[in-house]
Amino acid sequence: MLEEQHLLGAQGLSEEDVRTIVRAELDRDKANRTAAIIASKGTLDWAYVPLILGTTAAASGMDASIFFTFYGLNVIHKDFEHLLKVSPVGNPDMPMPVPMPTFVTALPGMGPLATRMMKAKFRSKHVAGIRELLESAQDLGVRLIACQMTMDVFGYGPDDFLDGVEFAGAAAFLAEARQAHVTLFV
């Protein structure tokens, strides 16, 4: 330690100077604090992943944006509470209260039941709800971006989405992503 200080001192630099220089260099690389996330899934369980990572990135001082495409648009739709569901069909990892053959999960009523079960489970474990995560995300300055092309395909207009949602295409996402060390596809 003493030796280091001596060496630094010989160059007329204090430890504080070095810290400042290093931090300035890190700050120059915007990619270190930029996260660009794609959210492509529109089920309740998969809505959590991009929102949790996006809010945490922003809470960690990063510029975070989440690009919602295809079914991911459900997450930022004004009616997300009803649109986000879980389906036990084709979801063999989903824990069921009692073991049941696969075809049973496709019977009418099983989807809503699974959705209710998951919501209840999340609540009982005190996991934040989607609404709270969306509010936290916007509060922290996470950019929520809807994919214009899939909006057109599904017949959505700007008014179908939450206030503050932006609209853009693939080029806009890539422009963001090429300046981000953290890019994730969910």
Partner 1 sequence: MSQTEIETAVVLDARGLLCPMPIVKTAKAMKELEPGQVLKVTATDRGSLADIPAWAKSTGNELLEQHEEGDTFVFFLRKGEEVQ
C-beta of 164: minimal distance to partner 1 in Å? 17
* Contact yes or no for 95/78 (Cβ under 8 A): no
Based on the shown chain and the rule CB under 8 A, indicate whether residue 5 belongs to the binding site for partner 1.
no
User: Residues 6 or more apart from 27 whose CB is under 8 A from it?
Assistant: none
User: Is-contact 167 67, C-beta < 8 A?
Assistant: no
Region binding partner 1 by CB under 8 A among candidate stretches 53-61, 80-88, 144-152, 178-186: 53-61
Q: Strand, helix or coil at 117?
A: helix
Site for partner 1 (CB under 8 A): which residue of 61, 141, 158, 164? 61
Q: Which stretch binds partner 1 (CB under 8 A): 1-9, 85-93, 121-129, 170-178?
A: 121-129
**73 backbone dihedrals φ, ψ, rounded to 5°:** -60, -25
Which range touches partner 1 (CB under 8 A), out of 1-9, 89-97, 107-115, 133-141?
133-141
- Smallest gap from Cβ 152 to partner 1, in A, equals 32
Contact with partner 1 (CB under 8 A) among 8, 31, 56, 154: 56
| 7 CB neighbour count, 10 Å cutoff | 10
- State the amino acid at position 11 in one-letter form: Q
128 binds partner 1 (CB under 8 A): yes
Out of 31, 40, 45, 52, the residue judged to bind partner 1 by CB under 8 A: 52
The CB density around residue 84, as the number of other CB atoms within 10 Å, is 23
Q: Which of 155, 151, 185, 181 is nearest to 169 (CA)?
A: 151
Work out which of 8, 59, 89, 110 binds partner 1, going by CB under 8 A.
59
Q: Contact with partner 1 (CB under 8 A): which of 34, 65, 115, 136?
A: 136
The continuous run of DSSP H or E covering 150 comes out as helix 148-154
Q: How far is the CB of 102 from partner 1 (least distance, A)?
A: 31
